[in-house]
């Protein structure tokens, strides 16, 4: 089995027709599968293009696509309706390649997002608002990396979007959440969802309801990767991870993908040229698996981005693995063709993976506790002043005095950091949360 790296989108309209938009040899190919006529038609819709493009479909079966030309770096916004393509060139002075473009339709407005390199290992997150032919462009924030840019996720939520991305903080990749109010063009402060000292890659997420967001990613450990699945509670004053499961063995497990299939939550990934997956059944607490899908041995596999207009669709996901060129999703559903693989590290339950409660990063501090910490810092400052003003006794060596200074200085810095975290938390608690249900 071979995993193809071509960017690929599957779109389905309300009539059951399928549109496959595929990047191949610097071109973007458009393949339409007609359900009634049972035939397909293919044509090239853009040539000499950046491999990073985006396509989606609205409730009126209108297709929207954004891509960048390689020869002049111009960014194109295309629409497809009733068999006709129309094109708009976005006014831009981009000198760099754009990555991970994304489109959100908000009534008659369009919001285009992408990232571009801003020098060294930093990338700017750009937002362009389109109304008719009027455009407003602004930079929302900067993503720091170690040289590898990870995919970001955009999740429509309330009157705006949740943006999930991996950012370099304190020498490690951490997952960061931000809420962007589309109506008021207002970006909220970042929320770091985890602070574990490990590298994280290949982020995917799926909104399960207005209170719960699921996300999965690969964690690097001992030069290998394992798949982690988190539930994020959006209903607290401060959005946070409330439960976690480790789904795979430590191997080369990459490209984790979340699929909601009739309430069963699947996580599928690519591992040693195989498709693997685990599933948390509806109304069950734990995941089962992992499963190895052997039926696809020898097949070419694509990771399809997916958008559908089919009413009462039995599954929801952003991506899914599937065979190519004959399209068939794999990694979820009927497990009769799948083989259960034992985890090398046994958990408490031999069959299911038990949730592990994550570290709680924010505690409930009261104002009197904050005053207590401030008082401790004040006392430390007095002690430092007293030592500086006193004479050094003969039996006090320079090393002993220096050691005392270092200890006091470390305590001071630690208390100051704790106060900063507490004050930030109390500010959020008084202000309320953007993630409360509306």
Q: Which of 257, 264, 253, 180 is nearest to 223 (CA)?
A: 253
What values do phi and psi take at 193, rounded to 5?
Answer: -80, -20
**pLDDT higher than threshold 60 for residue 84:** yes
Residues 309, 315, 320, 325, CA torsion sign: negative
Residue 45: burial class (beta carbons within 10 Å; 0-12, 13-18, 19+): middle
pLDDT at residue 122 in the model: 93
Q: What is the DSSP letter of 296?
A: G
Report the length, in residues, of the chain: 438
User: DSSP assignment of 46-81, as one string?
Assistant: E-SB-S--EEEE-TTS-EEEEEEBTTT--EEEEEEE
Looking at per-residue pLDDT, the higher value among 19 and 361 belongs to: 19
**pLDDT higher than threshold 80 for residue 198:** yes
**pLDDT higher than threshold 50 for residue 370:** no
153-162, 295-304, 313-322, 366-375: which has the minimum mean pLDDT? 366-375
**Contact in structure between 276 and 248 (CB atoms under 8 Å):** yes
**pLDDT tier at 126, thresholds 50, 70, 90:** very high
What does pTM read for this prediction?
A: 0.78
- State pLDDT tens for residues 395-404: 455 556 566 6
**pLDDT higher than threshold 60 for residue 83:** yes
**pLDDT higher than threshold 70 for residue 264:** yes
With a pLDDT cut of 90, the percent of the chain lying above it is 57
If you average pLDDT over each of 249-263, 384-398, 412-426, which comes out highest?
249-263
10-14, 49-53, 329-333, 368-372: which has the minimum mean pLDDT? 368-372
Beta-bridge mates of residue 83:
none
pLDDT at residue 423 in the model: 59
Mean pLDDT (whole number) for 181-201 = 90
Q: Which of 193, 252, 194 is nearest to 221 (CA)?
A: 252
In angstroms and rounded to an integer, the radius of gyration of the C-alpha atoms of the chain is 26
pLDDT at residue 311 in the model: 79
**pLDDT higher than threshold 50 for residue 347:** no
Mean pLDDT (whole number) for 326-333 = 93
Q: Which of 399, 48, 356 is nearest to 228 (CA)?
A: 356
Mean pLDDT (whole number) for 300-305 = 95
**pLDDT higher than threshold 50 for residue 359:** no
* Strand 300-308 with 8-12, pairing: parallel
Whole-number Å distance between alpha carbons of 253 and 274? 10
Looking at per-residue pLDDT, the higher value among 376 and 394 belongs to: 376
- State pLDDT tens for residues 227-242: 999 999 998 668 899 9
Looking at per-residue pLDDT, the higher value among 77 and 415 belongs to: 77
Average pLDDT, the chain: 83
pLDDT at residue 147 in the model: 86
**pLDDT higher than threshold 50 for residue 15:** yes
pLDDT at residue 337 in the model: 86
């Amino acid at each position: 089995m071979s995993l193809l790296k071509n960017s690929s989108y599957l779109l389905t309209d309300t009539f059951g027709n399928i549109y496959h938009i595929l990047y191949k040899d610097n071109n973007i190919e458009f393949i339409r599968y007609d359900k009634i006529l049972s035939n397909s038609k293919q044509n090239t819709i853009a040539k000499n293009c950046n491999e990073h493009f985006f396509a989606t479909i609205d409730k009126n079966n209108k297709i929207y696509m954004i891509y960048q030309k390689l020869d002049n770096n111009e960014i194109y916004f295309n629409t497809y309706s009733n068999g006709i393509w129309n094109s708009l060139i976005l006014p831009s002075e981009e000198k760099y390649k754009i990555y991970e473009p994304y489109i959100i339709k908000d009534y008659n407005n369009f919001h285009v997002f992408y990232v571009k390199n801003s020098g060294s290992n930093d990338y700017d997150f750009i937002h362009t608002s389109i109304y008719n032919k009027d455009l407003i462009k602004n930079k929302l924030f900067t993503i720091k990396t170690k040289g590898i840019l990870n995919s970001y996720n955009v999740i429509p939520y309330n009157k705006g979007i949740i943006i999930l991305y991996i950012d370099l903080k304190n020498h490690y990749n951490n997952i960061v959440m931000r809420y962007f109010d589309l109506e008021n063009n207002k970006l909220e402060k970042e929320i770091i969802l985890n602070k574990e000292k490990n590298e994280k890659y290949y982020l995917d997420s799926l909104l399960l309801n207005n209170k719960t967001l699921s996300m999965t990613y690969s964690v690097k450990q001992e030069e290998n990767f394992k798949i982690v699945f988190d539930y994020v509670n959006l209903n607290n004053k401060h959005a946070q991870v409330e439960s976690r499961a480790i789904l795979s063995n430590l191997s080369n497990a990459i490209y984790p993908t979340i699929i909601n299939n009739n309430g069963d939550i699947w996580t599928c990934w690519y591992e040693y040229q195989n498709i693997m997956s685990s599933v948390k059944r509806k109304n069950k607490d734990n995941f089962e698996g992992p499963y190895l899908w052997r039926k696809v041995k020898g097949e070419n596999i694509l990771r399809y981005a997916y958008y559908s207009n089919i009413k009462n669709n039995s599954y929801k996901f952003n991506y899914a693995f599937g065979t190519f060129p004959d399209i068939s999703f794999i990694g979820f559903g009927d497990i009769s063709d799948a083989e259960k693989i034992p985890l090398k590290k046994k958990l408490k339950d031999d069959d299911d993976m038990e949730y592990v409660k994550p570290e709680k990063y924010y505690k409930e501090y009261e104002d009197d506790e904050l005053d207590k910490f401030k008082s401790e810092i004040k006392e430390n400052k007095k002690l430092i002043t007293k030592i500086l003003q006193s004479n050094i006794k003969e039996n006090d060596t320079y090393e002993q005095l220096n050691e005392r200074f270092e200890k006091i200085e470390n305590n001071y810095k630690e208390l100051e950091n704790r106060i900063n975290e507490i004050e930030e938390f109390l500010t959020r608690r008084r202000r309320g949360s953007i993630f409360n249900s509306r």
